[in-house]
Structure formats: C-alpha cells, structure tokens
Amino acid sequence: WARAVRGLLLDVSGVLYDSGGDGGVPIAGSVEAVRRIKASGLKLRFCTNETQATREKFVKKLQGMGFDISVAEVTAPAPAACRILKERSLRPHLLVHNDLVPEFAEIDKADPNCVVIGDAAENFTYANLNEAFRVLIGMEKPVLISLGRGRYYKETDGLKLDVGAYMKALEYACDVQAEVVGKPAKMFFESALAEMGLPPEQALMIGDDIVNDVGGAQRCGMRALQVRTGKYRPCDENHPHVKPDAYVNNLAEAVDIILQQL
C-alpha cells in the first residue's frame, strides 16, 4: 500500500490531535510526522470535517500546537457548502457552531430556502433543532445540506455525538435526504485530489474514521489507512463493509513506512 504514493490526505481530529475544551492535545509523534512529510516532497492536504471553527481559527490552533500547516492546505466542508449555496441561489438557515458562522458572512441568509447543519455542539438544543425542522417542513421541496455525517468523534474527555446523529433526526422528521458536503462525499475527496493535482491511485488517505475517512477515500479509488488513535475502536477491524488497506498504530508509524518506499 505504500508504493507509488505521491501525496497524502490527512484527517486532522484523531490523527494529528485529540480535540477538547482546552483546545486539545497533539497525538504523540504527529507534529514531527507532518514535518517529515513536508521535507520529503510528498504533496499534502489536510482533509477535515471540522465545523466548530473557521479554517483560520482552526489552523491557528494547530499552529499553536507546533504543526506546520496553513489555511491554503486545508480542505473543509464550510467553503464547499458556500460554493454550492452561491451556485444554486440558496439562502440557508444555519444550525452550526457559533464560531463557524463567519464562514457564511458573504451568503444571503434572508428568507431561508434551505437548512445547513454542522457540528453545532451546545447549539444542538431542542429549540434550535425544532426551528430547523420548521424551516424544512414548511418547504415544498426541502433542502438539507449537512457538513458531514459522522456519528461521533473523540475529545480529550471522551466520545461526543457528531452532526450525523442530528442530521438523521431532521431527515426522519421531514422525510428528506440530506446532501452531505464533507467526508465521505465523493466531491469532497475529488476536490482535495484536484488541489493536489494527483490521480486517486497516487494518493493515500490516513484517518481514524473507518466509514467516512477510509470508506469514502476508497470509493474514490484511493488507498486508505486507519490509525489506531482518535475515535478508532477495536471493533472497527471487523467492519462488515469497509476494509482499510492497512492499520497503523499512529500517523508517525505510517510516515515511517511510506518514506522508506520513496
């Protein structure tokens, strides 16, 4: 799986660091692993479903942990969603984290004709979910755009419900199928590959999510690894549908193997 790799797509939360109320902590060896990737000449994209902050704020946090990363290297759902909203003249009702709202500053939000849902964390109250439900149920043809469909993720104090659980609630209540913008959507991975200028067979995805990271990348023709960090659980290795090209204990181990093949 490590042969003929010309570029890496790295998930962020659970691969580079574990998030948390205190900002989070880097996973052992990950800062140095990113430095080694960049020194090797391999192309690199950071592919995240992070929707609790703007890319600028998110990158600044990672830089504070010691990571060599810039906003231009990050593929994230919110900018992609904004492109879709503009192209289709959609005006969103936002059910997102307060810190993500600035990403939608240039989008018309008056008289909403769709709902955009992200990882709203504490904003996932009954009142807020019900308001989004009322917007959707009042439409002749409801449009629900979700910035991911993860079931849960890991923070320093344990696992947390992700946007997918709330997306499913709105799908069920409104009898609508959400359009997923982040991982595992094919468009998301194709966008990252285009930014790298690589065909899928020359790229490798490394993530902690068996379905959204590994399965999504493989459906686009990429190889994909699952790290045994972040949200990984041993039962992932018996997943009925998704089989990673390999398991590695962490990002540092994966980078060791990849660089040996260059």
Q: What angle do CA 89, 124, 14 make, to 5 degrees?
A: 90
What phi, psi does 95 have (nearest 5°)? -120, 80
Name residues whose C-beta falls within 8 Å of residue 224's C-beta, 6 or more positions apart in sequence. 204, 205, 206, 207, 213, 214, 215, 217, 218, 244, 245
Query: How far apart are alpha carbons 197 and 35 in whole angstroms?
Result: 21
pLDDT of residue 20: 84
CB 208 within 8 A of CB 247: no
pLDDT of residue 254: 98
Per-residue pLDDT of the chain (262 residues; tens, 9 = 90+): 999 999 999 999 999 999 887 889 999 999 999 999 999 999 999 999 999 999 999 999 999 999 999 999 999 999 999 999 999 999 999 999 999 999 999 999 999 999 999 999 999 999 999 999 999 999 999 999 999 999 999 888 999 999 999 999 999 999 999 999 999 999 999 999 999 999 999 999 999 999 999 999 999 999 999 999 999 999 999 999 999 999 999 999 999 999 999 8
Query: How far apart are alpha carbons 198 and 43 in whole angstroms?
Result: 9
pTM of the model: 0.89
Which tokens hold the place of 19?
Answer: 């998030």
Residue of 160, 206, 179, 202 lying closest to 117 (CA atoms): 179
Alpha helical stretches, state H, the chain: 30-40, 55-64, 77-87, 126-137, 163-174, 186-196, 216-219, 251-260
Phi-psi region of 89 (alpha: psi -120 to 50; beta: other; left: phi over 0): left
Taking only the tens place, the pLDDT of each residue in 2-54 is 999 999 999 999 999 998 878 899 999 999 999 999 999 999 999 999 999 99
What is the residue whose two structure tokens read 């609630």? 169
Domains and CATH numbers, the chain: 7-49+183-260 (3.40.50.1000), 87-180 (3.40.50.1000)
Query: How far apart are alpha carbons 226 and 228 in whole angstroms?
Result: 7
pLDDT of residue 21: 77
Mutual angle of helices 126-137 and 163-174, in 10-degree steps? 40
pLDDT of residue 32: 98
